[in-house]
Amino acid sequence: MILEKQLGDPKWVNIATILITTLITFKIISTFLLPKPKKNLPPVIQTPIPIIGGLLQFLKGPIVMLRKEYPKLGSVFTLNLFFNKNITFLIGPEVSAHFFKASETDLSQQEVYQFNVPTFGPGVVFDVDYSVRQEQFRFFTEALRVTKLKGYVDMMVSEAEEYFSKWGDSGEVDLKHELERLIILTASRCLLGEEVRNKLFDDVSALFHDLDNGMQPISVIFPYLPIPCHRTRDRARKKLAHIFSTIINSRKQSGKSENDMLQCFIDSKYKNGRPTTESEVTGLLIAALFAGQHTSSITSTWSGAYLLSNPKYMAAALDEQKNIMKDHGNQIDHDILSEMNVLYRCIKEALRLHPPLIMLLRSSHCDFTVTTKEGKDYDIPKGHIVATSPAFANRLPHVFKDPDTYDPDRFSPGREEDKVSGAFSYISFGGGRHGCLGEPFAYLQIKAIWSHLLRNFELELVSPFPETDWNAMVVGVKGKVMVRYKRKVLPVN
**Annotation: binding site for heme:** 436
Residue of closest CB approach to ligand HEM: 438
Q: Which is nearest to 195 in space by CA: 150, 152, 148, 244?
A: 244
CB–CB of 184/205 below 8 Å?
Answer: yes
**Footprint of ligand HEM on 421-440 (CB under 6 A):** 428-430, 434, 436-438
Q: Which is nearest to 99 in space by CA: 393, 397, 395, 399?
A: 393
Site string for ligand HEM, 226-265 (x = CB under 6 A): ----------------------------------------
Site for ligand HEM contains 186 (CB under 6 A): no
> What is the b/e burial string over 141-178, where b = at least 16 CB atoms within 10 angstroms of the residue's CB?
eebbeeebbeebbebbbebbeebbeeeeeeeebebbeb
∠284-223-217 over CA atoms, to 5°? Answer: 100
**What is the amino acid identity at position 241?**
A
Binding segment for ligand HEM among 178-186, 271-279, 294-302, 331-339 (CB under 6 A)? 294-302
Binding segment for ligand HEM among 55-63, 288-296, 316-324, 460-468 (CB under 6 A)? 288-296
Dist CA 488 CA 455 (whole Å): 8
For the chain, the residue count is 493
Shortest separation between residue 472's beta carbon and ligand HEM, angstroms: 14
Which pairs from 396-403 meet CB under 8 Å and 24+ separation? 396/91, 396/92, 398/92, 398/373, 399/92, 399/93, 399/425, 400/352, 400/425
**Footprint of ligand HEM on 212-231 (CB under 6 A):** none
CA-CA-CA-CA torsion sign (243, 294, 283, 150) = positive
**Footprint of ligand HEM on 383-412 (CB under 6 A):** none
**What is the amino acid identity at position 270?**
Y
- Residue 292 is classified by DSSP as H
Shortest separation between residue 325's beta carbon and ligand HEM, angstroms: 26
Site string for ligand HEM, 19-58 (x = CB under 6 A): ----------------------------------------
User: Which one among 296, 321, 363, 425 touches ligand HEM, defined by CB under 6 A?
Assistant: 296
| Residues in the annotated binding site | 436
Shortest separation between residue 156's beta carbon and ligand HEM, angstroms: 11
**Footprint of ligand HEM on 355-384 (CB under 6 A):** 355-357, 360
For the chain, the helix, strand and coil percentages under 3-state DSSP, each to the nearest 5: 55, 10, 30
- Residue 108's beta-bridge partner residues? 363
Dist CA 315 CA 356 (whole Å): 27
Q: How far is the CA of 261 from the CAs of 72, 143, 188, 286, in angstroms?
A: 47, 6, 10, 11
Site for ligand HEM contains 155 (CB under 6 A): no
Shortest separation between residue 135's beta carbon and ligand HEM, angstroms: 12
Shortest separation between residue 438's beta carbon and ligand HEM, angstroms: 2
Q: Which is nearest to 218 in space by CA: 117, 133, 115, 123?
A: 115
Site for ligand HEM contains 442 (CB under 6 A): yes
Shortest separation between residue 430's beta carbon and ligand HEM, angstroms: 3
Tell me whether residue 325 or residue 431 sits nearer to ligand HEM (CB atom).
Answer: 431
Tell me whether residue 325 or residue 385 sits nearer to ligand HEM (CB atom).
Answer: 385
Tell me whether residue 47 or residue 263 sits nearer to ligand HEM (CB atom).
Answer: 263
Shortest separation between residue 27's beta carbon and ligand HEM, angstroms: 44
Tell me whether residue 324 or residue 474 sits nearer to ligand HEM (CB atom).
Answer: 474
Kindly determine how many residues on this chain lie close enough to bind ligand HEM according to the rule CB under 6 A.
Answer: 21
Q: Which is nearest to 427 in space by CA: 97, 112, 110?
A: 97
Shortest separation between residue 360's beta carbon and ligand HEM, angstroms: 4
Strands 457-461 and 476-478: unpaired
- Residue 1 is classified by DSSP as -
Dist CA 291 CA 120 (whole Å): 11
User: Which one among 441, 450, 457, 485 touches ligand HEM, defined by CB under 6 A?
Assistant: 441
- Residue 192 is classified by DSSP as I
Shortest separation between residue 436's beta carbon and ligand HEM, angstroms: 3
Which 3-state string (H, E, C) describes 352-372? Answer: HHCCCCCCEEEEECCCEEEEC
Shortest separation between residue 368's beta carbon and ligand HEM, angstroms: 17
Please provide residue 145's backbone torsions phi and psi, each rounded to the nearest 5 degrees: -75, 165
Site for ligand HEM contains 466 (CB under 6 A): no
Taking the mean position of all CA atoms in its chain, how far away is CA 311? 30
Tell me whether residue 148 or residue 233 sits nearer to ligand HEM (CB atom).
Answer: 148
Binding segment for ligand HEM among 200-208, 272-280, 286-294, 481-489 (CB under 6 A)? 286-294
Site for ligand HEM contains 295 (CB under 6 A): yes
Site string for ligand HEM, 108-147 (x = CB under 6 A): -----------------------------x--x-------
Dist CA 134 CA 126 (whole Å): 11
Tell me whether residue 368 or residue 485 sits nearer to ligand HEM (CB atom).
Answer: 368
The residues that touch ligand HEM, with contacts defined as CB under 6 A, are: 137, 140, 288, 291-292, 295-296, 299, 355-357, 360, 428-430, 434, 436-438, 441-442
